[in-house]
Amino acid sequence: MTRKIELYDTTLRDGAQGPGVKFSSDDQLTVVRALDALGIRYIEGGQPSANPKAVDLFRRAKAIPLQHAKLVAFGSTRHPRTAVEDDANLQSLLDAETEIVTIFAKSSPLHVHDVLGVSLDTNLKLIKESVTYLRDQGRRVFVDAEHFFDGYALDPEYAIKALACAWQNGAEMLILCDTNGGRLPHEIAEVTRTVRARLPEMPLGIHTHNDSGCAVANAVAAVEAGAVHVQGTINGYGERTGNADLCSIIPNLQLKMGCDVLSKEQLARLTHTAHLVAELANMTPRDHAPYVGRDAFTHKAGMHADAVMKLKASYEHIVPALVGNVTHVAVSEVAGRSSLLHKAAEFGIHLDRDKPETKQILSKVKNLENEGYEFEGADASLELIMYKALGHFQPFFSTKSFHVHVDQQHFEKAGVSEATVKVELPDGRMMHTVSEGHGPVDALNNALRKALEGSYPELAGIHLEDYKVRILDGKLATSALTRVLIESSDKEGNKWNTVGVSENIIMASYIALLDSIEFCLHKSRGAA
């Protein structure tokens, strides 16, 4: 019989504690909707006693008609010197008005004595009274057994006694926590299996951190040993090195272990959800993330690309579409003709393996990469190379000259950047424009737009989304090659990436800008 596994997401609480992660109040609501659409069973909204933003979330989320998920408030057992009915933490959980609350409880003697500062018996009393009180107030209660695996290593009987105390007083889910993230899969599996045997009636969950690089493996090991509830975050966000990544756990459980986790339609939303949450968290999506990363199914070596075109399973462990991802073939200095053909097909361009144009394109790409170009993250520049080699590109303008001037009189104030460009249009008109900007690249972009928008008004809807600079050989200091990657978008939400390389960072930027504009114009006016 297929095992049903409950998913509990703590991105908005544990994940938000990760370095660099930042959600606005509106972002939080968007994350809740996205997680609900994904099919997550429980969404931990935060700790209302410690975070005013969490209080606001619980208030505003009442207006969201969730289809699959239940919002959960997070807190702790009562303070040792406060009665349950007077405890501000417990009251904040009740004020959140969620059906379910999760409280963390000490299960390690070390933390009971040295952190909480009470006796072992007193800690059990805190657990009993807190769970009982919340249950009496009509709440369903989950208990996170904090530092459980470390506590079990010190005193297994007490760690289990803490679990039993919570269970006997009304907790319905007991979560074993590897709070320090230092345990290995075989330890997690052994302890979970032992607890399951000792207390067979108790449903067990798992909550792991990634300090040893094993958070996902530890969560999977716990499920294999009997856990039915898994906690984690989208993209593995979390304090220190992060939490268990649900974007890896979910497909591992469902596609590898046959567990009942999400529907097929929900699973196909995984990549989209991972990227959406990354954007909302102000984090760059990890290209190399398993399953959902852009490079999760990217093939660079020519031999691999050739094999994938013949048999996808030769170098792909699942069908990418199952998790909402796609196969990519990177054309590079190690790529062969098969990689180029596959990439062209992605663009909707037909290349004949034996035609001289195909050889010409591959040779050009390899020569450019030898000069420092990188097309793995610049599909639009690569697509332009193909169009031009095939004779499918009609120039929309030609650059005659450009000049950039930066006036910086006071270091404590922003300087003035001014760019002048001279371009010739196909009808012979010469456009000579000047514009200012926030830095030389912005000034160049504005000057080019000013010169071209009269003839090509669609350029008014183009925005520069991202700008990345990489020094290719730092040993050469100021004479080193610079590679610039630019991401652009239009008002329909389409995005494309272009690249430029030069010893001069302004020239490299200008090359990437020209590609971006030419790509836009070709897509809107060209005939491929």
| Structural domain count, the chain | 3
Amino acid at 81: R
225 and 343 within one domain: no
> Is there a domain that residue 381 lies in?
no
304, two tokens? 């691999």
> Is there a domain that residue 474 lies in?
yes
Boundary-marking domain end, from 213, 245, 280 = 280
56 and 12 within one domain: yes
Amino acid at 16: A
Four-point Cα dihedral 315, 318, 324, 325, nearest 10: -10
Q: What are φ and ψ of residue 391, in 5° steps?
A: 80, 20
314 and 257 within one domain: no
> Is there a domain that residue 338 lies in?
yes
Boundary-marking domain end, from 320, 343, 363 = 363
51 and 165 within one domain: yes
- Taking the C-alpha atoms of residue 429 and residue 61, their distance in angstroms, rounded to an integer, is 58
End-to-end CA distance of the chain: 53
Per the structure, the complete domain to which residue 328 belongs is given by 298-363
Helix pair angle (337-347, 302-310), 10° resolution: 60
Contacting residues for 510 by C-beta, under 8 A, at least 6 apart: 402, 444, 500
- Report the phi/psi class of residue 403: left, alpha or beta, with left for phi > 0 and alpha for psi in -120 to 50: beta
- Taking the C-alpha atoms of residue 375 and residue 498, their distance in angstroms, rounded to an integer, is 8
- Taking the C-alpha atoms of residue 13 and residue 234, their distance in angstroms, rounded to an integer, is 11
DSSP-based three-state secondary structure for 299: strand
Look at the alpha carbons of 199, 200, 201, 206 in this order and tell me if their dihedral is positive or negative.
positive
- Taking the C-alpha atoms of residue 244 and residue 188, their distance in angstroms, rounded to an integer, is 14
CATH, residue 441: 3.30.160.270
Cβ atoms < 10 Å from Cβ of 336:
15
- Taking the C-alpha atoms of residue 40 and residue 101, their distance in angstroms, rounded to an integer, is 16
Q: What are φ and ψ of residue 12, in 5° steps?
A: -80, -5
> Is there a domain that residue 458 lies in?
yes
CATH, residue 177: 3.20.20.70
318 and 245 within one domain: no
Exposure class string for 63-80: b at 16+ Cβ within 10 A, else e: eeeeebbebbbbbbbbbe
Find out whether 202 and 191 touch, Cβ atoms under 8 Å. no
What was the pLDDT predicted at 334? 46
Length of the chain: 528
Exposure class string for 359-382: b at 16+ Cβ within 10 A, else e: eebbeebbebbeebbbbbbbbbbb
- Taking the C-alpha atoms of residue 282 and residue 19, their distance in angstroms, rounded to an integer, is 11
308 and 273 within one domain: no
- Taking the C-alpha atoms of residue 388 and residue 432, their distance in angstroms, rounded to an integer, is 26
202 and 127 within one domain: yes
> Is there a domain that residue 289 lies in?
no
Contacting residues for 388 by C-beta, under 8 A, at least 6 apart: none
Nearest to 28 by CA among 284, 280, 283: 280
304 and 276 within one domain: no
Boundary-marking domain end, from 280, 306, 332 = 280
176 and 68 within one domain: yes
What was the pLDDT predicted at 301? 55
Mean pLDDT per segment of 10 residues, for the chain of length 528 residues? 90 92 87 94 92 89 92 95 94 95 94 91 95 97 96 95 96 96 96 95 96 97 97 96 96 96 93 87 85 80 56 70 78 57 80 82 83 79 90 90 80 75 93 90 90 91 84 61 87 87 90 92 75
308 and 225 within one domain: no
> Is there a domain that residue 497 lies in?
yes
Exposure class string for 399-425: b at 16+ Cβ within 10 A, else e: eeebebeeeeeeeeeeeebbbbbbbeb
Cβ atoms < 10 Å from Cβ of 307:
17
> Is there a domain that residue 51 lies in?
yes
211, two tokens? 């300090």
215 and 88 within one domain: yes
How far, CA to CA in Å, does 476 sit from each of 137, 306, 503? 69, 37, 10
- Taking the C-alpha atoms of residue 261 and residue 255, their distance in angstroms, rounded to an integer, is 10
201 and 154 within one domain: yes
> Is there a domain that residue 494 lies in?
yes
